[in-house]
Structure 1
Amino acid sequence: MDAKLTTEAHNAQTGAQLLAGGLKALEISRVFALCGDQVNAIFNALSQVGIEVVGTRHETAAVHMADAWARATGEVGVAIVTGGPGHTNAVTGLAVAHGAGSPVIVISGQAPIDKRDRGGTQVLHQQQIVEPVTKFAREVTDVRLVPEMLYRAYMAAVSPTPGPVSLSFPVDVFNARASGYEASFEPHPRKSNFAKIRSVSHDLEGVRSLLSSAKAPVAIVGSGAHWDSGAEHMQSSLKSLGIPLFTVELARGLVPDDGEVCFGYADPRFNKTFRAVEHADLVLLVGTSFDFHTLFGKPPLFQSNAKIIQIVDDPLRSSVCRPSDVVICGNIGKILLELGDLVEDLRQPATEAWIASLRELHASSQSDWKDIAKGFAPSEGVHPLQICRSLARHFTSRTGMTVDVGDFVHWPRTYFPALQRGHLMDGSVMGTLGAALPQAIGMQLAFPGDPIVAFMGDGGFAQASWELSTAVENNLPIKLVVGNDSAWGVELRLQEAEFGESVQCLLPTHRLDRFAELVGAKGIHVESENDLDAAVDELMAAKVPCLLDVKIPRRCGRPMSDIAIPM
């Protein structure tokens, strides 16, 4: 063999090495993964370049953790799973990230190319499976294209509207070697290079005209503002508009819920103050569009003749559910800076009165909580509201929260204000059971010095319980509060209301604190309000992963249940 060819073959990198090197070039420092035959090579390659691998117990949890990392840090999250059933297990995590608009790269192993359609094991056409829940999905069947496909996937994940992507690599591509031009492709994208469309001054004049004539304007700020490259300046820019704000999804905490400028959750099911938008004559949508949270922008929550202004970074998000009067597409932070200069001193006396009425409504809604927990016998357990009140003694602006699915978690979702960017997460519009625990792990890794509290029901905890061991193995002192009613509480309530009986909604009673101790975490159990404060104090003081198992009444329902939830 020619000596030159021998040297080139020896120096050529494997597909796994090319992928690991590409992730390193993209400044990825940590990935969340579950090992498997088809990804062993990439695990080794990541170790060689110094990228941390956080091992999980389930592929869905790995994607949830990567998603939470992305939401908390503003960086791309990466999950690695094996092929076949490992890939299909990751689909739910991808769907949650897709619903949240979270930039996550899921790297899947895949069966060897020559075993496709020939009776090989774990053979699936993986790209087709994930296309509905990703922005970009590819099966990379040529080792020379590994760096380029990683770059393209990364760019798809971060722009123009963030979202998850999927790359599947057959195991023989990971093991093959490549050299030459394609293999030397070195992606170096940086956030500063993601230039978006600049705003146009005459569009802003149209916004100024509408704002100047509005007497009861509101702004609803959504996830697009969270991902904007100028998000750290977003709070001052939004406040400079001089109109009342509400936040939703990943924008929760971008402007603190202070009851003066920002009035909380843009969802009437969790915020009575938001119901006052029925009187708004102008709605400014910043980085969001009408959806489930805002009852699709229709009456009776919004006036049919209210003016709608949208500032978005992606034209595909404009005029969703109802047409907008003005749409400006571009860099949200830059647009808001320009708009703030234009609307200075535009506020009318009527607008001042409108804001004052919202402040009064917000203050009065806080006092509505006092009698809610009454009417339950002590033997039934501790009402979720009492749990929230006890925890509130420890909560600060740095406390992070992840909330799962079900009636129990709606109490803390409604009770606690969002005070810090990236510190409140849920399962997005997917409403995915069990996501809160792995999300808490991702958030804790992003904010190692902050207390992180996950709220789950007993059913949701069962979906992801072994990830508590992941927290133990990584010395992550997450706090887990489980409302244990030994039931699928939401479905129990709904079935009984509609049919007068329930089917398969009751669960056995388990001491979940004992499970926590089994995997090396701290476990605490409470059945009485008299013991609650001491238990919460112990939970919040714990330096290791800790689970507080609280017996709650079965029929607490959810707060603010006087409003229907359209599907």
Structure 2
Amino acid sequence: MEESLVHTDNKPMKNEGMDGGGAIVAWLKSAGVENVFSVSGGPINSIYRACALQGLPLIHARHEAAACFMAEAQSRVTGKAGAAVVTLGPGVTNAVTPGLVSMLAGTPILIVGAQAGTKSADRGAGMAYDVLPIMKNVTKWAARCTDPNRLQEYLDMAWRKMWAGRPGPVFLEVPTDILSMPLKAEATGTCPPLPGAAGVLAAQADEARKLLSGAKKPLLILGDELFFNRSERLVEAIEKHDLAFATMRLARGIVDERHPRWMGPAYAPCNATLRRAMAEADCIMLLGHHFEFDLEFGDTVGAGARIIQVCSDQELLHRNKRSDIAITATPSAFVEILADLPELNTDKGWSNGLIEAWNKERAAQLGEGDAAGLHPIAAVDAVSEAAPDNTIYVTSHGNIDFWADARLRISAPGRYLRAGQSGALGAEVPYGAGASFADPNAPVVVFVGDGGVGFHVAELDTAERYGRAFIIMVLDDEMWGAIALPQEQIFGETYEMKLPRRDWTKVAEGLGGRGYFARDAEEIKKALADAIASGKPAIIQVPVRSVISPYMAYIS
């Protein structure tokens, strides 16, 4: 460690030795962590002090769940590990839902949780509770360290577990006296290197080449692992073989979705063209993913289709659907093989037909335009037409989000944050805040309904306090639409689903931001431009029609 440590005010301070909190912060810096997200807690004061001494920005949120969501958002934008520090007891249990979201999405975050001092262990200390059993269920690894001189060892274990196979969250609990206890020796403050890339075995490569040489209707599905393991030759392979391709959550933007070979998001419930493609393809290449819910567990794959699945995480191979060729390797290694193959005998009429079908499906989504109120798609389109190319978009798991999912075209990796397989509401606003810290130069737009915005709207204040800005598009249909609309279809009535129209613009203003009320596309564009120019967090409230999304209509 350097002889001179630094406060956030950039005044040098003499090295006074290092305690457990200092060792954690030094390690976080070596791991490339850019911000520590947290909520006030006395037991973690030593970490707070170390952040100031060592120059690691500390972002103080309004709720532990929001702090952890912000850490995950940073990971989703940068591809690096995010970090959050929470106090003991309820501070840790507030981190459970973000842990679950991160676990199911496959995003790497480290959550450090405090615990009562070792001298009061199992004596009923204030706020103390054994949270390890809970956290073990929502993370890849959870452990407790009770020796400050072993913190480096435990953090290294956490790092290896976080990145092994499919990335995910890890949790380390440290009692407060261990955090403040001096180390016997100075911490090295280094983390292990990331795992090396795994190549494709020669025999499997030959087998894949042989299978592909006979394929006439190949379909390419790009999965989450490609976000962390990218290939510069992916576009080359797509264009060389005239492949129609679809993108899953973290892979959105891995190839610019304005590319003429893109056939929509790889979410079968919102993409009828994808469902058709999976039924008709004679070869499906599934890279960096498995057949999960959004791919209908592989149940709708055509009987004659041959499947090539490539994943670094062996546990995901054959999951839900048996693959003909299952390759334990990085997707980029397989892309190299695909790009080097002689041009496949792709049925261009079939492949081009899929692209045309998706474009027609997308064009027909707006439906009738005469009904009262703005269609949700009209609001989404107004934003995407007016927003700069580098804009980061955020959605979650409500009816509004499902409209945006299939409508947006993402131009680059890390520009689309969607709250994963968990289906959790509440991540949207913290994701927006976290993205604004991860990339302060990019506009951030959150699409959320008038239900979901209420979870963590106070995080507008967090962004404003730190000079960051993001924009919340509240598409307001005065109900919990994702549940209310299917209820109405099934039962002919709804049950406590109505929400009164609240003035969210005043909420934004009260939290130090800007508020706008927009009734049509032109007003949305004007408000968006003004909000971006202001450099302040903002809410743009837009009354919209209650229209069930294709996603909700299909799964309901």
TM range (shorter): over 0.9
Counterpart of 2:449 in structure 1 is 457
Deviations 1:245-271, CA, capped at 9 Å, x for gaps: 111010011012235222220113323
How far, CA to CA, are the matches of 1:64 and 1:344 in structure 2? Answer: 45
What residue number does 2:297 align with? 296
Q: Does 1:563 align with 2:554?
A: yes
* Partner Cα distance (2:551, 2:92) in 1: 39
Task: Tell me what 1:5 maps to.
Answer: none
Residues 374 and 543 of structure 2 are in contact (CA less than 8 Å); yes or no, is this contact kept in structure 1?
A: yes
Any conservation in 1 of the 2:247–2:266 contact (CA below 8 Å)? yes
Match of 2:527 in 1: 535
Partner Cα separation in structure 2 for residue 102 and residue 30 of structure 1: 16
Counterparts in 2 of 1:203-352, with a 5 A limit? 203-228=204-229, 230-231=230-231, 234-236=234-236, 239-240=239-240, 242-258=242-258, 260-277=260-277, 278-299=279-300, 302-341=301-340, 343-345=341-343, 347-348=344-345, 350-352=346-348
Q: How far apart are 1:473 and its partner, in Å? A: 1.1
**What's the CA shift for 1:150?**
1.0
Please, which runs of 5 or more residues in structure 1 have no aligned partner? 1-9
1:374 paired to 2:366: no
RMSD (Å) for aligned C-alpha atoms: 2.1
Deviation at 1:560, TM superposition (A): 5.8
Q: Contact between 1:408 and 1:456, CA under 8 Å: does it hold in 2?
A: yes
1:428-507 equivalent positions in 2, closer than 5 A = 428-507=420-499
Displacement after TM superposition at 1:292 (Å): 0.7
Change (3 A) 1:329 1:481: same
Letter in 2 for 1:245: F
- For residues 44-97 of structure 1, the C-alpha deviation after alignment (integer angstroms, 9 at most, x for no partner) is 011111100111001111111111111111111001111100000011111111
2:255 corresponds to which letter in structure 1? V
What is the aligned partner in structure 2 of residue 362 from structure 1?
A: 358
Q: Is contact 2:376-2:403 (8 Å) kept? A: yes
More divergent stretch after superposition (499-508 vs 415-424): 499-508
Q: Which moved more, 1:499-508 or 1:463-472?
A: 499-508
Q: Distance in 2 between matches of 1:444 and 1:352?
A: 42
Change in 2 beyond 3 A, CA 1:526/1:12: closer
CA distance in 1, matches of 2:508, 2:16: 49
Residue matched to 1:158: 163
1:237 CA drift (Å): 5.1
Moved more, 331-340 or 282-291: 331-340
Q: Secondary structure at the match of 1:303?
A: coil
What displacement does 1:240 show? 5.0
Question: In structure 2, what is the Cα distance between the partners aligned to 1:444 and 1:240?
Answer: 37
Q: Is the 8 A contact 2:379 2:520 kept in 1?
A: no
What is the CA deviation profile of residues 526-562 of structure 1, one whole-angstrom value per residue up to 9, with x for unaligned ones?
3456744443443444421111011223x32214655
> What one-letter code is carried by the residue in structure 1 that aligns with 2:361?
S
Task: Read off the aligned partner of 2:353 and give its amino acid letter.
Answer: S
Whole-Å separation in 2 of the counterparts to 1:373 and 1:420: 32
Equivalent residue number for residue 404 of structure 1: 396
* SS of aligned partner of 1:503: coil
Partner of 1:71: 76
CA distance in 2, matches of 1:429, 1:413: 14
* SS of equivalent to 1:496: helix
Any idea what SS the aligned residue of 1:178 has?
Answer: coil
- The offset of 1:235, in angstroms, is 4.3
Does the 8 Å contact 2:486/2:552 carry over to 1? Answer: no
Instruction: Point out the more displaced range, 26-35 or 67-76.
Output: 26-35
Matched, 1:201 2:164: no
User: Given that residues 70 and 431 in structure 2 are in contact (C-alpha distance below 8 angstroms), is that contact kept between their aligned partners in structure 1?
Assistant: yes
The answer on whether the counterparts of 1:204 and 1:339 sit within 8 Å (CA) in structure 2 is: no
Q: State the alpha-carbon separation in 1 of the partners of residues 353 and 144 from structure 2.
A: 56
Q: State the Cα deviation string for residues 263-294 of structure 1 (Å, max 9, x = none).
A: 22011332333133121111111000101111
Alpha-carbon distance in 2 for matches of 1:333, 1:58 = 38
Does the C-alpha gap of structure 1 residues 395 and 271 become closer, same or farther in structure 2, counting only changes over 3 Å? farther
Q: Distance in 2 between matches of 1:145 and 1:237?
A: 47
Tell whether the 8 Å contact from 1:405 to 1:457 is kept in structure 2 after alignment.
no
| Structure 2 alignment gaps of length 5 or more | 1-14
> Shift of the alpha carbon at 1:375?
4.8
Separation of aligned partners in 2, 1:231 and 1:78? 27
Give the corresponding residue for 1:425.
417
Mean Cα displacement is larger for which, 114-123 or 77-86? 114-123
The Cα of 1:416 is off from its aligned counterpart by 1.3
Please state whether the residue corresponding to 2:172 is helix, strand or coil: strand
Q: Distance in 2 between matches of 1:175 and 1:139?
A: 16
User: Counterparts of 1:545 and 1:323 in 2: how far apart (Å)?
Assistant: 47
Q: Check the 8 A contact 1:225/1:234 in 2, yes or no.
A: no
Q: TM-score, normalised by structure 1?
A: 0.91
SS of match in other structure, 2:291: coil
Pairs within 5 Å for 1:43-82: 43-82=48-87
Q: Counterparts of 1:81 and 1:415 in 2: how far apart (Å)?
A: 37
Residues in 1 aligned to 2:66 and 2:264: alpha-carbon distance in whole angstroms? 29
Check 1:548–1:321 CA distance in 2 against 1; reply closer, same or farther (3 A cut). same
8 A Cα contact 1:253 1:422, kept in partner: yes
State how far apart, in whole Å, the 2-side matches of 1:362 and 1:499 are: 32
AA in 2 matched with 1:535: A
Partner of 1:149: 154
Deviation at 1:158, TM superposition (A): 1.9
Task: Compare 120-129 and 87-96 and name the one that shifted more.
Answer: 120-129
| Cα deviation, residue 116, structure 1 | 2.5
Quote the offset at 1:525 in angstroms.
1.2
Secondary structure of the 1:285 match is: strand
**Equivalent of 1:190 in 173, 176, 193:** 193
Tell me, in whole angstroms, the C-alpha distance in 2 between the residues paired with 1:424 and 1:202.
37
Partner of 2:401: helix, strand, or coil?
Answer: helix
CA distance in 2, matches of 1:123, 1:24: 29
- Residues in 2 aligned to 1:239 and 1:398: alpha-carbon distance in whole angstroms: 24
What's the counterpart of residue 511 of structure 1?
503
Report the TM-score, using the length of structure 2 for normalisation: 0.92
* 1:333-354 Cα distance to aligned partner (Å, 9 max, x none): 223213422x222x21x52222
d(CA) in 2 for partners of 1:489, 1:464: 19
Where 1:501 maps in the other structure, the secondary structure is: coil
The 3-state SS of whatever aligns with 2:190 is coil
Equivalent residue, structure 1, for 2:543:
551
Identity of aligned residues (%): 28
SS of residue matched to 2:216: coil
Does the 8 Å CA contact 1:475/1:544 hold for their aligned counterparts? Answer: yes
2:174 to 148, 154, 169: 169
Residue 7 of structure 1 corresponds to none
* 8 Å Cα contact 2:460/2:513 also seen in 1: yes
C-alpha distance after superposition, 1:172-231 (max 9, x if no partner):
111122214xx645534334xx21433211101111111111111101111111111x45
Relative to 1, partners in 2 of residues 1:398 and 1:261: Cα closer, same or farther, differing over 3 Å?
Answer: same
Provide, for residues 501-527 of structure 1, a one-character-per-residue CA deviation record: whole Å limited to 9, x for no partner. 322212232100010000110000134
**Secondary structure of 2:322 counterpart:** coil
Partner of 1:4: none
> Size of the alignment, in residue pairs?
541
- Whole-Å separation in 1 of the counterparts to 2:303 and 2:127: 53
* 8 Å Cα contact 1:481-1:547 kept in structure 2: yes
Q: Hey, what's the Cα distance between the residues in 2 that align with 1:514 and 1:471? A: 17
